[in-house]
Structure 1
Amino acid sequence: MRYLSALLMLLVCLSSPALAQSTPPGPAMLIADDVFLEGDNTLVAEGNVEAFYEGRRLKATRVTYDRSTETLRIDGPITLVDAEGDLLVLADAAELDRAMENGLLSGARVVMDDQLQLAAHEMSRVNGRYSQLYKAAVTSCRVCENGRPPLWQIRAERVIHDQQEQQLYFDNAQFRVLDTPILYLPRLRLPDPTLERASGFLIPSVYNSSTLGTGVKVPYFIKLGDHADLTLTPFIATKTTTLEYRYRQAFRNGEIEFNGAFSDDDQGVRSTRSYIFGEGRFELKRDFILTFDIEAVNDDTYLLDYSYSGKDRLDSQLAVERARRDEYIRAAITHFRTLRTNEQDSFVPTLSADAEYERRIFPARLGGELRLSAETHTHFRSSDTLLDGADFDPYSDGLDLTRFTTEANWFRSWILPGGVHTRLQTGVAVDSFFVDQAGLTSDSRDTNLTPSASLQLRWPLLKRTATNATHVIEPMVQLAWVGGDALNIPNDESTLVEFDEGNLLSLSRFPEPDRREYGFSAAYGLNWTRLDPRGWETSLVTGQVIRDERQLELSGLSSFSNVSGLQGRSSDFLLAGQLKAPNGLALTARGLFDAGYQTTKASARASWQNELADIGATYVWLRRDLAENRPGTISEWSVDGSYRLSRHWTGSANWRYDVASDRNVTAGIGLTYTNECVEAKLSASRRFTSSTILEPSTDLSLTVALRGFSAKTTDKSYIRTCRN
């Protein structure tokens, strides 16, 4: 029995392609057709030998243990699978010592993480840590028994796998494509598939641009411990020398990430251009969250020239907030910088600070919900001019504004007979304004007391048809009153007003309290939803707002722009709808229509998503309105998407077209080939727009990634199959 126990313990400690270093305790099981002794020192198990231990499984034809030499001989074919299923070892035969730390396997093949294959004439085990493969071939491509070579492979005289460091070292390596040598490397180091992070080169890409020339990007990943890393990407092209970087670090209570680049070129005003974008998030005590983001660039066109970002206004912010069930606290300071050619930083608020507090209370005697809030906002312009520009043109003045707002609102809901949902709201708000450099067109300071009350009625009606489709029709109406008087304060926060289904039943459609709607008003609408058990979903919302004459006088017609949909005694008619089909098709549309049934604003989005396609198209139409800083009508199409053309080929495209100007804005096309061992991306894009500081440009890029090392195949549908 002691021979059998020794054999079992030796067999079951195989736990990696390099075998385990120690013998773990615990029960094991050996199954064989025959188990017998040869002499006094040799135990033999033969015939369908299988050993099991803690999920690991070894299969062989014959196993012989010699007690005198403490060696183990295993006759194949040998198959070893580890407990996690990430490792498969195949061999013709093996000779190992008692501790399984040294030995030799012939005709060995190792499959790591169901991804990378290593085949060799011999594989030796050294010191329980290293596996040496001689005359080895390494690939992650599917190898079929038809004599055809894999798409790519690395041939080497010797491959050493360091189990502890999870690294593969190659001596005299050849990189082959369809068995044709392409590249020779005397030394090569690559991570094995089980290693998540390791210093080394990442996937290179070839890049061509009409503005930057032809070049190559070669990223290098640097591991800075277990919680930080740095990626440096030299970009060498005919018209630029650039170093891109990304730094990431994880902390116990948060994380940070910075992206940026330095460039030496002759494309901009400066010979050396750079940018930095950074963000971070930290969990503080008492459930507070600290967030920050940094956006800075030293040349206005740098981000577009290098396709780093399409933003035309940069904002850097530091904020602290806490959200609980009945309380919300937030404080933030923001710095803005404009990259638009028609704006100057001195006339745009450079610094902005905000603080807000909101609390919900549920009084037992009064019932309902009491909501208390306080908010302060201030913004500063660097301009010293005393000229107060028009409300729709805040870029021609230098005013600085500070606002304090406190508000208390009480809500109570009831269900009336017949299922009518009733909601009563009443409250009061106090707004105080302090304006510097306002000129002569507004007051320098003022305070307003604004009481308000509203009553909402909703009557949801439900019907189920013979096909089990459910219809929900909900008429809704709101009666509202807001007291107080309009202040002579510049419109510096509510310059853009949107009228949609989200604020149809609101006391004020202005985004900020520097403008409010006063007097009596009524809003009515209808919401219809249809749900089909076969996967169809349809919804439609309509509505309109009506005001009395006094509200128009107090609010002022200039407060709402001509295309906001809210100008006049009766607002434009709102119509919004959505359709979802079980095949992944979705349609969404929204529009505002005036009394003459002319469109004021309209937008529509169509998308199709399934296993093969992810395609979307958007159309936007906005009427000309100087109050919204829009000197001309906007009519624009944009299309983007990808489609899986076949098992391995995926096409993508994007296109943006300005209908009003009858010209293209941007266009792009891409083609990707993906299988289990390689991914190649070819893309081309064109920017057609131009300005005094920006020229049209065309970009081409090619990226080839070898899967199995740093890039893994997560989607098994791309794996090729062998044909007889």
Structure 2
Amino acid sequence: MRLRALAILWLAGLCGLADPVSAQDAEQPALLVADQVTVENQSRLVAEGNVEALHDGTRLEATRIVYDQDTGALSIEGPLRITEPGGDVLVADRADLDQDFENGLLRGARLVLDEQLQLASVEAQRVGGRYTALSKVAVTSCQVCGPNQTPLWQIRARRVVHDEEEQQIYFDGAQFRVLDVPIAYLPRLRIPDPTLERARGFLTPSIRTSTLLGFGIKTPYFIPLGPSRDVTLTPYLSPVTRTLELRYRQAFRYGDLEILSAASSDTLENDGRAYLFAEGSFDLPRRFKLEFDLETTSDEAYLSDYDYSSKDRLDSEIALTRTTPLSFFGTELIHYQTLRDDERNATQPTIVIHSEYEQRFPDLWGGELRLGGVTQGHYRYSDLNVDSNDADDVVDGRDVARATLEASWRRRWTLQGGLRAGVAGHLWADRFEIRQDATSDRHASQITPAVEVELRWPWTRVGGDGGRTLIEPLFQTAWIGGERPNIPNDESTRVEFDEGNLIDISRFPAADRRERGRVSAMGLRWQHSDPLGWTAGMTVGRVWREDADPAFTRSSGLDDEESDLLLAGHLATADGLAFTARGLLDEEDGTFNKAAARATWTNRIVDLGASYILVARDPGENRDSATSEWSFDGGYDLPGDWSGEAEGRYDLVDDRFARAGLGLTYENECVSARFTVSRRFASSTNLEPSTDFGLTVALKGFSTGGSAKEYRRTCN
């Protein structure tokens, strides 16, 4: 009858056979568990049956182990399995090792790194506890089920050395195969193993074919500059261009910084081309936060030609903010660069300075007092004090500075029957300084008082099935005093009327325009939450004013005494379907002056979305024709390891696509391949239509190709 034995051993002297001093010098004892343990000739230990040995975090499992004290050698019969502390696994048929498992020879060895990368060899040699040298090796991260199955890809090599300390794999005589067909041969090859997160070297290359730039290849090279900094250099070569792209990242203790840049020499432009995007965010003492964003490019078409960005206006900004429960402070400096062919940087408000501060004083006189101030200034490079009849219909060189002080007090009550009432008083003091504008005064000041009364009557109901319904009528009436001075409208050129400002004292976004006289608003809000998991809501509203305000344009929906009817709603179901819509309905002609809608469907296998926008023709906003556009985007998990995606924008006014794109991805435990095609139908004179094809293939299991754990299959 076999008895299970347990022995706690010092590797320098098993079962007390060694001298006590050497036992005390040993760093850590080993633990040996087996069905049967015997000692032969006072110096030879034999462990048989379900043998497990643990030393210094390394676990050995085998059928039989023979330890010779005189030579310090371990003879191990398999199948055996050695698991390293970091998770690497070495499997072999037989092994001859030293007592620390650091040196020796293994027959029929297979090394598995981080449960991802498999290295199968005829034999492996352990050297110094750091290196594993394998001969006649096949390397892959593909799951292989059965002896006759061929992996999707593998690297055959004469010799492979794995350096555990540097986390690198070195290949001699490497041959890359796809479905066992040789594709490439490399005499020497070095690849970081899957446990190394930041390895210096080449990343996954990508191929791009463009009708503008031709066939090209990008080969990123990653350079770590310490634990918190790195830079990636990406040469991009094609018959048309020679480009070097750069990405720099640095993480600080209280912030981060990222820089994106590229420089190109191509046949599209005679001069060199470049762009620079940089952004950073830093937490400062006393709750201050510093953020900056730098965007610049050498010409209007560069970002679009190379697909770096779709922006047609670049904004560079530095901002300092501080937010507390009772106060807010913010100041920012912005520089704009337009890339539109119908705009000129000289006549746009290129440099903008904005600062604001607000302090709340709750529980004052039964309500809340708010004090604040705003300073705003913008500068145009042009010196003309008249309009040169360009598209924007604005004085070319007009510069404006504004200072605003505001005080408001507000209070709310709950009346009988659940009626909620609120009252607020406001007082604004504004000062304007205008330069280089022959059509307006150079100085202007105004004092604007205002008072408002608001009523809300929320009705709630809980159904027998647990559903909850809210119906809330809304009403507001306000009076705003004062008269509008002879100042230009530079800040409130675009007005949005929606459910967010239906009940508001003024729907202009800035102080250069304020609503005047008596203004009332009424609305109805409905919301329902069903226990089956769906929710829905709707808002209907309208604004009435004493006199029409010419500062409101047609598409704002507020240009008459009676505004357009505001309609807004949303619906979300438990199975991932969501729909939102908003519109301003002109009831006289039954058309919408402005509308937007978005529908999405999201679940485990599909993520689809479609949007629609409509903005009516409005000369007051320099829009000579209506804007009507459909856009769609989405992805779908196809059967197997495939997934697809598509996106597009269709201009209904011009009856043409503005942009369209398709993508197809194949991803499993050992490879990730992505193919994309996109078409840009440019309408601007400084952009050309182009079609782009892209292909990226990454081998998983190495740190440069991504993790293979998430897609690990199970053999049946």
Give TM class, smaller chain.
Answer: over 0.9
**1:249 is matched by which residue type in structure 2?**
Q
**In structure 2, distance between residues paired with 1:588 and 1:636:** 16
Q: Which residue of 2 aligns with 1:544?
A: 542
**1:245 is matched by which residue type in structure 2?**
L
> Match of 1:337, SS?
strand
1:637-676, aligned counterparts within 5 Å?
A: 637-676=630-669
**1:61 is matched by which residue type in structure 2?**
T
**In structure 2, distance between residues paired with 1:453 and 1:83:** 72
**1:526 is matched by which residue type in structure 2?**
L
1:525-604, aligned counterparts within 5 Å?
A: 525-549=523-547, 552=548, 557-596=549-588, 597-604=590-597
Q: CA offsets per residue over residues 449-489 of structure 1, 9 Å max, x none?
A: 12222222222222222332221111111122222221211
Q: Which residue of 1 aligns with 2:69?
A: 67
Is 1:6 the counterpart of 2:10 in the alignment?
A: yes
TM-score of the pair, normalised by structure 1 = 0.92
**1:239 is matched by which residue type in structure 2?**
V
1:472 paired residue among 470, 473, 480: 470
Q: Which residue of 2 aligns with 1:174?
A: 175
Shift of 1:87: 2.8
**1:428 is matched by which residue type in structure 2?**
L
Q: Which residue of 2 aligns with 1:505?
A: 503
1:392 and 1:628 in contact (8 A); partners too: no
**In structure 2, distance between residues paired with 1:313 and 1:252:** 32
Is 1:711 the counterpart of 2:712 in the alignment?
A: no
**In structure 2, distance between residues paired with 1:55 and 1:575:** 67
> Match of 2:556, SS?
coil
Q: Which residue of 1 aligns with 2:300?
A: 300
Q: Classify 1:395/1:242 alpha carbon distance in 2 versus 1 (closer, same or farther; 3 Å).
A: farther
Q: Which residue of 2 aligns with 1:98?
A: 99
**In structure 2, distance between residues paired with 1:707 and 1:336:** 43
Deviating 4+ runs (over 6 angstroms)? 8-11, 53-56, 389-392
Q: CA offsets per residue over residues 219-261 of structure 1, 9 Å max, x none?
A: 1111222222111111111211111111112223322111111
Is 1:379 the counterpart of 2:383 in the alignment?
A: no
> Match of 1:362, SS?
strand
**In structure 1, distance between residues paired with 2:592 and 2:683:** 30
Q: Which residue of 2 aligns with 1:399?
A: 398
**In structure 2, distance between residues paired with 1:54 and 1:95:** 19
Q: CA offsets per residue over residues 551-572 of structure 1, 9 Å max, x none?
A: x4xxxx3210011011111111
Shift of 1:53: 7.6
1:316-355, aligned counterparts within 5 Å?
A: 316-355=316-355
Q: Classify 1:51/1:427 alpha carbon distance in 2 versus 1 (closer, same or farther; 3 Å).
A: farther
**In structure 2, distance between residues paired with 1:360 and 1:223:** 47
1:608-647, aligned counterparts within 5 Å?
A: 608-647=601-640
1:3 and 1:43 in contact (8 A); partners too: no
Q: Classify 1:9/1:185 alpha carbon distance in 2 versus 1 (closer, same or farther; 3 Å).
A: farther
1:347 and 1:394 in contact (8 A); partners too: no
- Which stretch of the first structure deviates more once superposed, 463-472 or 631-640? 463-472
Q: CA offsets per residue over residues 16-56 of structure 1, 9 Å max, x none?
A: xxxxxx98658x75432112212201222221123468986
Q: Which residue of 2 aligns with 1:79?
A: 81
**In structure 1, distance between residues paired with 2:583 and 2:32:** 74
> Match of 2:158, SS?
strand
**In structure 2, distance between residues paired with 1:574 and 1:544:** 6
**In structure 1, distance between residues paired with 2:416 and 2:39:** 91
1:428 and 1:450 in contact (8 A); partners too: yes
Q: Which residue of 2 aligns with 1:14?
A: none
Q: Unaligned stretches of 5+ in structure 2?
A: 16-24
**In structure 1, distance between residues paired with 2:12 and 2:445:** 87
Q: Which residue of 2 aligns with 1:408?
A: 407
**In structure 2, distance between residues paired with 1:96 and 1:210:** 61
2:570 and 2:580 in contact (8 A); partners too: yes
**In structure 2, distance between residues paired with 1:412 and 1:163:** 69
Q: Which residue of 2 aligns with 1:16?
A: none
1:8 and 1:51 in contact (8 A); partners too: no
Shift of 1:89: 2.7
**In structure 2, distance between residues paired with 1:167 and 1:237:** 32
2:676 paired residue among 665, 670, 683: 683
**In structure 1, distance between residues paired with 2:311 and 2:501:** 28
Q: CA offsets per residue over residues 302-333 of structure 1, 9 Å max, x none?
A: 11111111111111111111112222111111
Q: Classify 1:158/1:429 alpha carbon distance in 2 versus 1 (closer, same or farther; 3 Å).
A: same
Q: Which residue of 1 aligns with 2:488?
A: 490
2:13 and 2:69 in contact (8 A); partners too: no
> Match of 2:148, SS?
coil
**2:586 is matched by which residue type in structure 1?**
D
> Match of 1:563, SS?
helix
Q: Classify 1:23/1:474 alpha carbon distance in 2 versus 1 (closer, same or farther; 3 Å).
A: farther
> Match of 1:92, SS?
strand
**2:447 is matched by which residue type in structure 1?**
L
**In structure 2, distance between residues paired with 1:285 and 1:682:** 47
Q: Classify 1:478/1:81 alpha carbon distance in 2 versus 1 (closer, same or farther; 3 Å).
A: farther
> Match of 1:517, SS?
coil
Shift of 1:699: 1.0
> Match of 1:708, SS?
coil
1:388 and 1:399 in contact (8 A); partners too: no
**In structure 1, distance between residues paired with 2:426 and 2:228:** 50
**1:5 is matched by which residue type in structure 2?**
L
Q: Which residue of 1 aligns with 2:599?
A: 606
**In structure 1, distance between residues paired with 2:218 and 2:197:** 22
**In structure 1, distance between residues paired with 2:242 and 2:124:** 46
> Match of 1:303, SS?
helix
Q: CA offsets per residue over residues 663-722 of structure 1, 9 Å max, x none?
A: 121111121111111111111111122443222111111111111112224783x44443
1:198-217, aligned counterparts within 5 Å?
A: 198-217=199-218
TM-score of the pair, normalised by structure 2 = 0.93
Shift of 1:147: 0.5
**1:658 is matched by which residue type in structure 2?**
D
Q: Unaligned stretches of 5+ in structure 1?
A: 12-21
Q: Which residue of 2 aligns with 1:145?
A: 146
2:9 and 2:31 in contact (8 A); partners too: no
- Which stretch of the first structure deviates more once superposed, 596-605 or 465-474? 465-474
Q: Classify 1:191/1:389 alpha carbon distance in 2 versus 1 (closer, same or farther; 3 Å).
A: same
**In structure 2, distance between residues paired with 1:577 and 1:123:** 68
1:80-479, aligned counterparts within 5 Å?
A: 80-82=82-84, 86-268=87-269, 270-363=270-363, 366-387=365-386, 393=392, 395-439=394-438, 441-479=439-477
1:668 and 1:686 in contact (8 A); partners too: yes
1:391 and 1:491 in contact (8 A); partners too: no
Q: Classify 1:301/1:450 alpha carbon distance in 2 versus 1 (closer, same or farther; 3 Å).
A: same
- Which stretch of the first structure deviates more once superposed, 293-302 or 41-50? 41-50
Aligned length: 701
> Match of 2:550, SS?
helix
> Match of 2:260, SS?
strand
Q: Classify 1:154/1:23 alpha carbon distance in 2 versus 1 (closer, same or farther; 3 Å).
A: farther
Aligned-pair Cα RMSD in Å: 2.4
Q: CA offsets per residue over residues 582-637 of structure 1, 9 Å max, x none?
A: 11111111110123232111111111111111111111111100112211011111
Q: Classify 1:491/1:91 alpha carbon distance in 2 versus 1 (closer, same or farther; 3 Å).
A: same
**In structure 2, distance between residues paired with 1:699 and 1:311:** 18
2:497 and 2:507 in contact (8 A); partners too: yes
State the identity as a percent. Answer: 50
**2:164 is matched by which residue type in structure 1?**
Q
1:344 and 1:395 in contact (8 A); partners too: no
> Match of 2:108, SS?
strand
Q: Which residue of 1 aligns with 2:47?
A: 45
> Match of 1:586, SS?
strand
Shift of 1:189: 0.5
- Which stretch of the first structure deviates more once superposed, 344-353 or 418-427? 418-427
